Amino acid sequence: SSLGAEDQVLTDMICKINKNVNIFTLDTGRLFPETYNLIAKTSELYDKKIKVYFPDHKKVEEMVEEKGINHFYKSVENRERCCYLRKKEPLKRAFKGLEAWICGLRRDQSITRFDNQLVEWDEQHGLFKINPLIDWTEDQVWDYIRKYNVPYNELHDQGFPSIGCQPCTRAVLPGEDVRAGRWWWEQPEKKECGLHNRPEKK
């Protein structure tokens, strides 16, 4: 779970259906305070342990020592390396022994997610990916949250429709894409951390 609005909807659904389903999240070390608060609030409300995976601190220390604390602003390569160490590598550990994962992707979130399917083979990680909300609209997500009083990140009320690491996320302007605030200094087609990358079409 990213603790985003969509993933909070899924957490609510899962806890109502089968609490034996494992829920985990990734702590990159650079999340917003509001995100940490939401992890604790969600776990307490649903009486459900949320497993937290962390990056390898030695590798992160080496990267920061070599590149600088905010090196990811300088190039796509630097940013992708940071995302790899802080997110992709911990995710690989989280996936060990799993046959499928459930996530809150929606097609209308960005151009990089338009081709995702309800159930698809995640070639990158070697397991199935299930996207129950793939055809949901943003309005449907928030209708569910309001109807069932699902806890959500306070930053959503401050113009942050998509929330990631604090240095790499800003509020969006009226009319902007919902993911415009993520890695806002990069081109739209590059705006993925790598967790949901799909093979290029040939």
Q: 146-151 contacts: CB < 8 A, separation 24 or more?
A: 148/12, 150/8, 150/9, 150/11, 150/12, 151/8, 151/38, 151/41, 151/42, 151/45
Tell me the CA distances in angstroms from 191 to 53, 121, 145, 196, one per residue in order: 23, 21, 26, 11
- Indicate if 193 belongs to the active site: yes
Amino acid, res. 183: W
Phi then psi dihedrals of residue 53, to 5 deg: -105, 140
Q: List the catalytic residues.
A: 193
